[in-house]
Amino acid sequence: MRLNRFFARIVFFSATFLFSAVGFAHDSEKEPSHYNTEAHEHPIKNAEPFNAGKLIIEHISDNHEWHIYGNIHIPLLCIVKTDKGFECFSSGKFRNHETHEFQVYEGKNYSYELKEGKIVVAKNEEATKSVLDISITKNVVTLFIVVGLMFFFFLNVAKSYRNRVGQTTKGMQSVFEPLIVFVRDDIAKASIGKKYERYMPYLLTVFFFVWISNMLGLIPFFPGGANFTGNITITLCLAVLTFIITLFSANKNYWRHIFAMPGVPIGVLFILTPIEIFGMFLKPMVLMIRLFANITAGHIIALSFYALIFIFAKGGESTGAGLGVSIASVAFCIFMMFLELLVAFIQAYVFTLLSAIYFGSAVEEHHHPDENFDGKPNEEHAIAH
């Protein structure tokens, strides 16, 4: 019951956050336009046409600053390495604080500017080729926030277990215990078998890491809103970790099935073995693309419904059409928000489950014909002999 109430609160607050997003999502990633007197006097006539594609791409992309509202941004640390060495500066240097327009920053070694979200050397393509950007971007900050939340949650849960031995669960412990038991019993034990305990730390970490990241991405304002697990580099790192653990856990039976499948004629092995080797590398690719595509698609669909309001409004020329479409658009956005709450959990579950299945296949022992898959004697085989 407590867990149900917890999820009900998440749904309620997420729906509330969606209405907050409606107030500023259109302006959230848009670069400020040049200011002039004519545009100020006739804002609708001189306004730039709404570009839905640009809004969506900028939302799902990483950024060197964290947008709050209007012209308010949180500058992040830029760390750039060029052929002349390292330079560190605030991303706020790229903005003119009076006009809020992007500008060139005169650094110690070069002049830098933001071009399509990337730091480049101004008017120097040769020097730009040597630029290595290792800045603290929006996604990096989100990574720190997620890790910090996980430390906070699990240190508190561990403390509760130490202080409440033999007592009923309470507070944060009652929220996380059903999820921990779910990962242990329905994922680890069911997919790996008797050797599941050695993989529990990783499976729990990756499950809560993906789930918390997905939930944080649904919050439209700081510290949420980043398309963190919709970034291909994040899902790539998680998939590579699963792949490495699988390789180092693999026993002789696993490698034998990869390179020389038992009971298969030698002629067929020339066809089957390359397929098995390809499949070994395909598994982490499936993990990477599945999480990336599902989370990114959710953001794109929700923003597409929202963008319809401004497309039909035509920059203020057809306000009635914009208001009319907004009823359906907001309704679909709310529906997508509820759906994304479910997807956030499902994607964490699927990633963890597939990782556990890969681990299970790597440590599975060879089954003799006189044994069942659980290691018990096969009665039918014994009777036949």
Q: Is residue 353 part of a domain?
A: yes
Q: Is residue 248 part of a domain?
A: yes
Mean pLDDT score of the chain: 80
Asked if 206 and 238 touch (Cβ cutoff 8 Å), the reply is: yes
For residue 37, pLDDT beyond 50: no
Q: Is residue 159 part of a domain?
A: yes
Pair 175, 316 in one domain: yes
**Tens-place pLDDT, residues 286-300:** 999 999 999 988 888
How much is the average pLDDT of 112-121? 86
Across 62-66, 106-110, 122-126, 143-147, the highest mean pLDDT is recorded for 143-147
d(CA 28, CA 66): 9
Provide the token pair at 113.
Answer: 């500017």
With 0-12 / 13-18 / 19 or more C-beta atoms within 10 angstroms meaning exposed / middle / buried, residue 8 is: exposed
Pair 99, 206 in one domain: no
Q: Is residue 297 part of a domain?
A: yes
For residue 235, pLDDT beyond 80: yes
Beta 132-133 vs 118-121: how paired, if at all? unpaired
Q: Is residue 371 part of a domain?
A: no
Model pLDDT, residue 23: 38
**Tens-place pLDDT, residues 314-351:** 766 667 777 778 788 888 888 888 888 899 999 999 99
Pair 122, 142 in one domain: no
Pair 210, 357 in one domain: yes
- Domain count of the chain? 2
How much is the average pLDDT of 70-85? 87
Show the domain range for 101. 77-135
The more confident residue out of 163 and 214 is: 214
Start-to-end CA distance of the chain, whole Å, equals 54
Model pLDDT, residue 14: 42
Pair 126, 149 in one domain: no
Final residue before a domain boundary, out of 108, 135, 162 = 135
Q: Is residue 101 part of a domain?
A: yes
Pair 169, 288 in one domain: yes
CA 103 to mean position of chain CA atoms: 31
For residue 124, pLDDT beyond 90: no
Pair 102, 237 in one domain: no
For residue 245, pLDDT beyond 90: yes
The more confident residue out of 242 and 91 is: 242
Pair 207, 116 in one domain: no
Pair 325, 356 in one domain: yes
Model pLDDT, residue 356: 95
Region of poorest pLDDT, from 224-233, 323-332, 336-345, 376-385:
376-385
Whole-prediction pTM value?
0.78
Residue 293: half-sphere exposure toward Cβ, Cα within 13 Å = 6
Model pLDDT, residue 377: 53
Provide the token pair at 304.
Answer: 């597409």
Model pLDDT, residue 376: 53
DSSP 252-299: HHHHHHHHS-TT--HHHHHHHHHHHHHHHHHHHHHHHHHHHHHHHHHH
Pair 204, 229 in one domain: yes
Q: Is residue 284 part of a domain?
A: yes
Q: Is residue 14 part of a domain?
A: no
Pair 81, 157 in one domain: no
Pair 304, 211 in one domain: yes
